[in-house]
Amino acid sequence: MLTKNSIKVGDRAPEFSALAVYEQEFKRIKLSDFLGKYVILLFYPLDFTFVCPTEITAFSDSYDQIYSLDAEVLGISVDSEYCHLAWMQLDRESGGVGNLRYPLVSDLTKTISISYNVLNHEGKSLRGLFIIDREGVIQHILVNNLDVGRSVNETLRTLKAIQYVQSNPDEVCPANWQPGQSTIKNSPVQAREYFQSI
């Protein structure tokens, strides 16, 4: 069930340690192992479903882009590590995900999903996406219901915007901002330059 005190952007990401499957092996993953890098936490309902493999494989297919942005991906569901392994050992044409470029974390106890406030009343994880910065602080939260998949392109755009404003603290990114486009100076007078140019 959803917790009453939900985490929010600007909070430190709740730490966890759990078994994951990566490169066909079981491996213990701790979130704190990734301090110093950006992390995309990708919660999803269940293995062997319909929308989930489309998301899981889409993020895997885009892993080179994600890695080039000094970021890692962790997929998380309430399935066991054995279920994750079986799903990875099944090819995509048969409903599996095949070899992935990032780990799938087992949240069989549901403690991670509860701490990130994405566990629904059926005991499944909602489609929660969290971008965590190098310091372990949550910079972005997106939560979809079970039937709606997420966009890798929008995740990458948001990650780039977060990285840009963290490197340029006197600037903010407008709607639909893409790298190379104009930003807004974070002051009333200088902001006018942007609004006069559009």
Nearest by Cα to 71 from 29, 39, 100: 39
Selected catalytic residue, list 19, 29, 52, 152: 52
Does residue 1 sit within a domain? no
The pTM of this model reads 0.94
Give how many domains the chain has, as a whole number: 2
Q: What percent of the chain has pLDDT over 70?
A: 97
Statement to judge: residues 189 and 128 lie in one domain: no
For residues 71 and 108, give the distance between their C-alpha atoms in angstroms, rounded to a whole number.
25
Statement to judge: residues 57 and 136 lie in one domain: yes
Statement to judge: residues 157 and 177 lie in one domain: no
Does residue 197 sit within a domain? yes
Count of beta carbons in the 10 Å neighbourhood of residue 25: 10
For residues 196 and 189, give the distance between their C-alpha atoms in angstroms, rounded to a whole number.
11
- Strands 104-106, 71-77: parallel, antiparallel or unpaired by DSSP? parallel
Statement to judge: residues 137 and 55 lie in one domain: yes
Does residue 155 sit within a domain? yes
Does residue 5 sit within a domain? no
Statement to judge: residues 105 and 29 lie in one domain: yes
Q: Is 52 a catalytic residue?
A: yes
Statement to judge: residues 21 and 87 lie in one domain: yes
- What Cα–Cα distance (Å) separates residue 154 from each residue in 45, 97, 170? 20, 22, 23
Statement to judge: residues 111 and 68 lie in one domain: yes
Lookup: tokens for 108: 């069989």
Give the domain range for residue 189: 172-198
pLDDT per position as a tens digit, 124-161: 999 999 999 999 999 999 999 999 999 999 999 999 99
Residue 3 in this model has a pLDDT that exceeds 80: no
